[in-house]
Amino acid sequence: MGTTISGDATAPIEEGPRNAKLQARKEAAVPRGLSSSLPVFAAKAEGSEITDVEGRKYIDFAGGIAVVNTGHLHPKVKAAVQAQLENFSHTCIQVTPYESYIRLAERLNAIVPVRGPAKTVFLTTGAEAVENAVKIARAYTGRPGVIAFSGAFHGRTLLGMALTGKVVPYKVGFGPMPADIYHLPFPVTYHGKEVAQTLDAIETLFKADIDPNRIAAMIIEPVQGEGGFYQAQPELLRGIREICDKYGILMIADEVQTGFARTGKMFAMEHSGVQADLITMAKSLAGGFPLSAVTGSAKIMDAPGPGGLGGTYGGSPLGCAAGNAVLDVIEEEDLCTRANEIGEILVARIKELQRSNTLEGVIGDIRAVGAMVAMELVAGGDADRPDPDLTRALVAKAAEKGLVLLSCGVRANVIRFLCPLTTSHALVNEGMDRLGEALRECVAERAA
């Protein structure tokens, strides 16, 4: 006897304030742990704009959290996926493989900044890529320990959140955490934390807490994402590389948010000239389709035995078709150059706001690596006085003006800019006009 499922998923939405009605349905049907930045429901997205269910259009400065570097529904990505659907949607690479997986792996092996000949395994999410990178590192070294950094974000799975260097909201109530995970301070000059202190802390850790010969890997984001868009200085990455080489530790670069032209280079590690042993990727790898990857030195990637890596949906045919199209678009449209151009516009416009008399002391720091741009909101120009309330108000006010923004940072006071790299200069400027209006109104309302 079949099971009857109540509710008509295809029923039309009632007329009226559709966003509010859908938000009420979401709160009734979905756990509160899955929160959304804005109670605005997308009906269509194309290029750098999203249209909600009430027909209102928004400039997208979030990009699905850095997922659509090539823009929403890029014609070439869309066409590749449609063509793949004419053939098959799924066979499972572990049962009957397909050429698109191999071709995408070959292309990544040729461009990812890792040491020596490379190999790639595809998975589904960024967290899954991180977990598999740690598995591979442990298999290769025979060691259990992993070092991560404060402010890091590596996912919401059990191991991913253990590696993540931020307690609220990612770790609260979910313990105990896996063993043999160690965190070190991430150097942020704006907050008085220097590279030398971090490198000293690594050696102190080896003296006080764990033998370096028990450490399998150190994992670091070349630019912290959720942590606040703080760049790992080249001297930090070089120092970590040297320490890893000294003790036989593997270096894992988490490029989930920084990869695929976001920082003005294909991968952010290229800015430092440092090569990792393993690199994790996801987000913009497939232009909006679920796909992640671990690429690493071939001898390291081959450490797990047959059956030790994989997953039912890992490296899906649709994701691989999209991934190959994404690499084509990045090259054909020179999105690395576009990223640098967009970053220059964003920084110039933020500096104008920073100098404004009506916004004196509000924007404390501006950070940019290509189009990975952030502004840190503080009180009275004081780095030690974060302003998370203004940050939350700005995200909401910007939405009222048709601009989607994201906040981040351990202190919840950073606005991050992640617009698609295909965004026109005119639309970037229009978005910044709206942001400026929103910020001035937020500050004026607070002062009233």
Summarised one tens digit per residue, pLDDT across range 253-286 is 999 999 999 999 999 999 999 999 999 999 999 9
Residue 447: exposure state from Cβ atoms within 10 A (0-12, 13-18, ≥19) = exposed
Give helix 317-332 / helix 75-85 axis angle, nearest 10°.
150
Angstrom distance (rounded) from CA 181 to CA 200? 18
Cβ–Cβ < 8 Å for 134, 146: yes
Amino acid at 68: V
Q: Given a cut of 50, is residue 315 above it in pLDDT?
A: yes
Short-list 364, 375, 360, CA closest to 443: 360
Domain boundaries, the chain: 18-73+334-447, 88-332
CATH topology of domain 88-332: Aspartate Aminotransferase; domain 2 (3.40.640)
Q: Given a cut of 90, is residue 8 above it in pLDDT?
A: no
The C-alpha angle with vertex 185 and arms to 259 and 202, in degrees rounded to 5, equals 100
Confidence at residue 324, expressed as pLDDT on a 0 to 100 scale:
98
Angstrom distance (rounded) from CA 190 to CA 302? 41
Angstrom distance (rounded) from CA 90 to CA 112? 27
Task: Taking residues 192-210, report their average pLDDT.
Answer: 96
Task: Taking residues 345-367, report their average pLDDT.
Answer: 97
State the residue for tokens 């049907």.
29
Q: Transcribe 397-420 into DSSP letters.
A: HHHHTTEE-EEESTTS-EEEE---
Q: Given a cut of 50, is residue 12 above it in pLDDT?
A: no
Range 133-146 burial, b when 16+ CB lie within 10 A, else e: bbbbbbbbbebebb
Task: Pick 18-73+334-447's CATH classification: 3.40.50.970, 3.40.50.261, 3.40.50.300, 3.90.1150.10.
Answer: 3.90.1150.10
Residue 438: exposure state from Cβ atoms within 10 A (0-12, 13-18, ≥19) = buried
CB atoms within 10 A of CB 245: 11
pTM: 0.94
Over residues 376-389, the pLDDT tens digits come to: 999 999 999 999 99
H-type alpha helices, 221-269 = 234-247
Confidence at residue 37, expressed as pLDDT on a 0 to 100 scale:
87
